[in-house]
A and B are shown apart, each in its own frame.
Chain A
Amino acid sequence: MAGVRDRNESAWLLPNDGSRTNHGLRRDMRRFADTDEIDMVIVGCGAGGSVLAQRLARAGWRVAALDAGPFWDPDTDWVSDEAGSHHLYWTEPRVIAGSDPVPMGSNNSGRGVGGSMVHYAGYTPRFHPSDFTTYSADGVGADWPLDYADLRPYYAAIEQELPVAGEHWPWGDPHGYPYRPHPVGGNGEVFLRGARKRGITAKVGPVAIVNGRFGNRPHCIYRGFCLQGCKVNAKASPLVTHVPDALARGAEIRADAMVTQVAIDRHTGLALGVHYMRDGRERFQRARMVAVAGYSIETPRLLLNSASSRFPDGLCNDFDQVGRYLMVQGAPQTAGRFDAEVRMYKAPPPEVSSEEFYETDPAKDYKRGFAIQTVSPLPITWAEHVAAQGHWGGALREYMSDYVHWSCLGALCEFLALPENRVTLAEEKDSHGLPVARFAYSQCDNDQALVEAAQAVMEDILHAAGADEVITIKRYAHLVGGARMAADEQHGVVDRDCRSFAVPNLYITDGSVLPTQGSANPALTIMAVAARAADHLTGTD
């Protein structure tokens, strides 16, 4: 692992005394003046923005990354508690519509430095090579303007930086992981047992949770609260994997700074910097270049809220592409009941997965596929699963008292990118007076067929493992798209290097640029795409 430290020293910059934050590094952070024309201002400090900041700072760029939320300290800001983690989610007002509206907040929207990876489960699978050509192969989705081979070295690099633990991965482009797989808990045991009986291959991993010790990041303690922010520093998020190195290399992380508009010079058409709110004051950061990394809802919203005389319908929206092709994965969750005690909360929710159903199966009447993974809901999310069966009152309590007997699997179904699934601006305004996002989502027939197929496979696995009852809740997971990359400006917002077609010094480096989503959790791919964009910017690609 010596090579990792030479590229990214984050894990060694964290304290090794049992506390989780290097306060000195934050106190001594370089701070730019609003009037400095810095090389790059980045909007958003999540998976995409943090990687970009770290890479550019390493290359000597003067870079500041602004985030609307706080600069977290896991010791004091985070708790081992579901309801007490409400502040980790983006809960500013949003309106959801369409025939299948998608809940936001804890489901898919992060807040603060580290972004949604602060509360993601920790699964970090790669996309498959087929994900980059779904249109030419199957007539659905889109072809990317780059292919898997372009991302492969970035996948490998980020897997070492997080670092990822798992068994050798037989699917997609087969590959290994830098760390051995974690031991499994009750839920993982059940999945492996049921899959084996049905002849389905399932593997332990891939999870971005330290197995062993990595720099000053300790081994996971298997407390089960991955989705509430890791108080151990064992689970990877940019807060511990990229921000410390960025700070040490001279980047500024400006927390509690809500960017409200990207400013465009109306004569040159170039970006000049960003307007933002901090401590109740309107401010403006000048920059030579701007990168937007606010994820699939806030990135399109910011572009639409940045309309100007040059871009009357919203920045980069001359061809009505901004906000479109927004995707979520169908994520039905099926639980099975066992007389034995599974106690699924006693391990990280991400343990075991199968990508056996990921690719298009010519024998089926639907295209593309799904992945299956362990999920281990804690009491509040488990209550949502039980209540979805219609139980309330005494029946709800009775079911809930049975919690220790249940095992739970989740599928990620590749819902297709559709133009009507998009973000627009609502009438409603937020506390800054800016229109909030309205996100319309409707499923197509292929989507629904995938959910049914995935549910049937999960029920089958759980029955094979010995479950005497199974119950399912239909949910969604993740967000990608909304400002996708494409071959030209009539089909997307940015090019293969994440540069916007409309404004040569404006980049988008987050999940919103993804044209398809596969059945993979998106964090690793978002980081890989941002790392590749950084190499393009610094001329090292």
Chain B
Amino acid sequence: MTGRATGRFPGFDVLGQRRHWDEVTADLVTSRTGPPPRPRFFTDAERVSAAALLNQLTGQCDEPLGVPVMEMVDARLAAGETDGWRYADLPEDGQAWRDTLGYLDMDAQARCGTGFADAKERDQAAIIQAVQDSREWHGMPAPRVWSLWTRYACTALYSHPYAWSEMGFPGPAYPRGYKNAGVGKLEPFEVRDARPAEDPVGDDA
């Protein structure tokens, strides 16, 4: 992690615009910054594995954003709030989460003799990367497992105003709307990218 993800939009804070949002939306978005709900779905053992996995997937090991992704995923699973479908070759979402967290622990035991949560961060990352690189993983289609994990992780992270601030996205826009749409145009409350030429791919090349 390079540390470049943060700080591209100096001084930009989505929550500073709260007074311009409709009340229903404002209450919902603000609630995400309060204390997270106590986990109800994951068991104690699953909880620590899930937290480790989700912090890895959302880049919060090296650069915490303070987004309680594990608790947010737990709340969805406890409420049965699925995406409205499951793959025929994967169990329903809740069971698939339990199964795959167990497999992560098995992989960690085999690799470093600990549970997944207690493995070193680089070992955790290697175990996760192996799932992304596989066709099959513990008898499951690995791309489907990857899809399940990343869908839940991204939905949680990018529903959070801290993540919006990091990407320069102003969040809710009702009833105010936008008046200055168009390439290069800003609203008074938007902040220009401080490092516009920092194309992620350009840096890797």
A residues engaging B (CB < 8 A)? 75-76, 78-84, 86, 89-97, 101, 103-106, 109, 183-186, 189-190, 221-225, 231-232, 337-343, 345-347, 378-380, 382-384, 387, 390, 392-405, 438, 468-469
Contacts and interface: CB of A to CB of B under 8 A. Distances in A.
A97 B144 CA distance: 12
Contacts of A190: 183
Given A95-B88, A104-B84, A405-B196, A384 B154 contact: yes
B199 interface: yes
A379 B157 CA distance: 9
A89 B2 CA distance: 38
Contact of B190 (A78, A80, A343): A343
B172 interface: yes
B187 to A, nearest CB: 8
B1 to A, nearest CB: 4
Interface stretch (B41-49, B52-60, B100-108, B110-118): B52-60
B178 A346 contact: yes
A93 B185 CA distance: 43
* Most chain B CB neighbours (cut-off 10 Å) among A185, A392, A399: A392
A396 B183 CA distance: 24
A342 B177 CA distance: 17
A-B residue pairs, 9 tightest by C-beta: A221-B177, A105-B84, A185-B181, A83-B159, A91-B84, A394-B1, A223-B173, A80-B172, A97-B88
B25 A81 contact: yes
Contacts of B137: none
A402 B198 contact: yes
Contact of A401 (B58, B125, B166): B166
Interface in B1-49: 1-2, 4-6, 8, 21-22, 24-25, 28-29
Given A340-B184, A347-B178, A468-B199, 9 more contacts: A75-B22, A89-B84, A101-B88, A104-B83, A232-B174, A346-B181, A392-B56, A392-B57, A393-B58
A93 B92 contact: yes
Contact-size category for B: 35 or more
26 contacts: A80-B171, A84-B29, A93-B86, A95-B85, A97-B87, A97-B88, A184-B181, A185-B182, A221-B173, A223-B177, A225-B172, A339-B196, A342-B183, A346-B178, A346-B181, A379-B164, A383-B157, A392-B128, A393-B59, A394-B5, A396-B58, A400-B163, A401-B4, A403-B167, A404-B168, A405-B199
A218 to B, nearest CB: 10
A379 B167 contact: yes
A93 B82 contact: yes
B193 A405 contact: yes
B25 A84 contact: yes
B5 A106 contact: no
Contacts of B201: 337, 469
Contacts of A80: 21-22, 25, 171-174
A425 to B, nearest CB: 13
A92 B86 CA distance: 10
Nearest to A92: B84
Given A76-B24, A394-B1, A399 B200 contact: yes
A19 to B, nearest CB: 11
Nearest to B92: A93
B192 A96 contact: no
B185 A186 contact: yes
A384 B25 contact: no
B59 A469 contact: no
Contacts of B179: 222
Given A80-B22, A81-B29, A341-B196, A183 B173 contact: no
B123 interface: no
B99 interface: no
Contact of A221 (B81, B128, B175): B175
B183 to A, nearest CB: 5
B172 A79 contact: yes
A382 B128 CA distance: 22
Given A93-B92, A397-B63, A189 B182 contact: yes
A379 B200 contact: no
Contacts of B86: 93-96
Contacts of A342: 183
B109 interface: no
B84 A106 contact: yes
Contact of A400 (B132, B158, B172): B158
